[in-house]
Structures are given as structure tokens and as C-alpha cells.
């Protein structure tokens, strides 16, 4: 399939002052677009041409994995944010308190994971197959789907995510991040029973040969909900 830039769920200046219009214009409009363009170019003529983004992430490595995962991670990241202040829904709060002790402790640990990650990458809140929550650090284009976790929230700590607004102060960006988190989206992901993050390594070759187009379309729509 040909991948296209997903819609941004708010205006480019809507997250100011936490995230400036200039940052969004570069981060979403140029960096994400480049990952998508690179991915389309790299998969042309390969079995991945017929795969969805999750299947590419689970099966590919090297430049195809890097660009597919960065396309997925950024879509997920931008969908995790909102200009509207959202309260943490009860289900999310209870799960966080169960696995981290308190919301404050969770936030401290998540920020620390974001700040301590050496170089470029992502800090994630993710759910394991038993429903337990974890904070994960993933360098570069890393994505928890690859190790069987279902992502619930992420912060991008590549310098392009914060350098325009915060220069070298990644810790300030990680602290301000909470002001624009869409907790309703986190709750939706926590409750969703879609197949992402089940730890299943899907076989791209089999997918390519399948003639059950409708089932594939349903599956694609289902997995797209994870992002």
C-alpha cells in the first residue's frame, strides 16, 4: 500500500505554548512526511508493498523497519496530544496506581525514562499481555510492538521534537508534556482489544497471498485504531 501523511487532529498552533507551530510544522510536516516518503520508496517492489504498517514493523529490519516504525511512532505521538485539558480517566488512574504506586510516581519515572535515554528515541507507557503497565525506553525508531507490548502513550525525545522550543532542555519538555497529553486517547488504547501488541509475528508473505480482502481491510482498520 502507499502510505500517506495521517491527519493532524488539531491545528498546527493548537499546542502552543508547550509545542510551537514551528515545531509542529517541522516535526509533523517535514520529519514525519520524510519517513513516509522514504518508506514508500523502500518497500516498492518488495513483499512489504502489500503489508500494513504493523506487519512491516513486526517483520522488517534495517531501513524499512526504521522508516515504518518512525511513521507509526510519530502518528501515535501526535494522536496522543490535544490542546484541550483532559483529566485522567478512572480506569487509567487505577491501572497506573496498581502498577506504579501513584500517578506522581508514574510521571516521575516516565519523565526520567525520557530524560535518561541516551541519544535519540522514545519513552513509552505500554501494556503487557497480562494487562500490566510498563515504562519502556526505546532508542532510535524502537517500538514496543516488536517485543509484544501494546503502546498506550509515548514521548518523542529526538532533538527535533523539542530543540526549537526548549533547545537542550529535554527535561523541561518532558515536564511540560503532561499539559498536552490526551488521557482520553490513552484510556481508549487501554480498553481496546485490537490485536496490536499481542506479540504475534505476522507473516508478510502469507498476508500477501491472502485473497480475503475484506478480512484484511477490517484488520487494517482495527490495527489503525492502535495508533
Residues that bind Fe ion (CB under 5 A): 156, 158, 161
Nearest distance in Å: CB 200, Fe ion: 27
What Cα–Cα distance (Å) separates residue 168 from each residue in 49, 89, 112, 222? 38, 33, 16, 38
**Closest CB to Fe ion: residue number:** 156
Nearest distance in Å: CB 71, Fe ion: 11
User: Based on CB atoms, which residue is closest to Fe ion, 157 or 187?
Assistant: 157
Nearest distance in Å: CB 108, Fe ion: 23
Nearest distance in Å: CB 215, Fe ion: 33
User: Based on CB atoms, which residue is closest to Fe ion, 76 or 158?
Assistant: 158
**What is the grid cell recorded at 198?**
499481542
Q: Is the peptide bond before 149 cis (omega within 30 degrees of 0)?
A: no
User: Based on CB atoms, which residue is closest to Fe ion, 163 or 198?
Assistant: 163
User: Based on CB atoms, which residue is closest to Fe ion, 138 or 156?
Assistant: 156
Residue 101, judged by CB atoms within 10 A of its CB (0-12, 13-18, 19+), counts as: exposed
What Cα–Cα distance (Å) separates residue 2 from each residue in 37, 124, 192, 194? 9, 27, 26, 23
Amino acid at each position: 500500500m502507499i502510505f500517506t501523511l495521517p491527519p493532524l487532529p488539531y491545528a498546527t498552533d493548537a499546542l502552543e505554548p508547550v509545542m510551537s507551530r514551528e515545531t509542529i510544522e517541522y516535526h509533523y510536516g517535514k520529519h514525519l512526511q520524510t519517513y513516509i516518503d522514504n518508506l514508500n520508496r523502500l518497500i516498492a517492489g518488495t513483499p512489504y508493498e502489500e503489508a500494513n504498517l504493523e506487519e512491516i514493523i513486526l517483520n522488517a529490519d534495517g531501513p524499512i523497519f526504521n522508516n515504518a516504525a518512525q511513521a507509526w511512532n510519530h502518528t501515535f505521538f501526535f494522536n496522543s496530544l490535544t490542546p484541550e485539558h483532559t483529566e485522567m480517566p478512572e480506569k487509567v488512574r487505577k491501572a497506573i496506581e496498581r502498577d506504579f504506586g501513584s500517578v506522581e510516581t508514574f510521571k516521575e519515572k516516565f519523565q526520567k525514562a525520557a530524560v535518561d535515554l541516551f541519544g535519540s528515541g522514545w519513552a513509552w507507557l505500554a501494556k503487557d499481555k497480562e494487562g500490566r503497565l510498563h515504562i519502556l525506553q526505546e532508542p532510535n525508531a524502537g517500538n514496543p510492538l516488536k517485543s509484544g507490548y501494546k503502546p498506550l502513550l509515548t514521548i518523542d525525545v529526538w532533538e527535533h521534537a523539542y530543540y526549537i522550543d526548549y533547545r537542550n532542555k529535554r527535561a523541561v519538555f518532558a515536564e511540560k508534556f503532561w499539559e498536552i497529553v490526551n488521557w482520553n486517547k490513552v484510556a481508549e488504547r487501554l480498553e481496546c482489544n485490537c490485536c496490536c501488541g499481542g506479540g504475534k509475528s505476522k507473516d508478510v508473505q502469507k498476508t500477501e497471498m491472502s485473497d480475503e480482502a475484506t478480512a484484511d481491510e477490517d484488520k487494517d482498520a482495527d490495527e489503525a485504531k492502535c495508533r
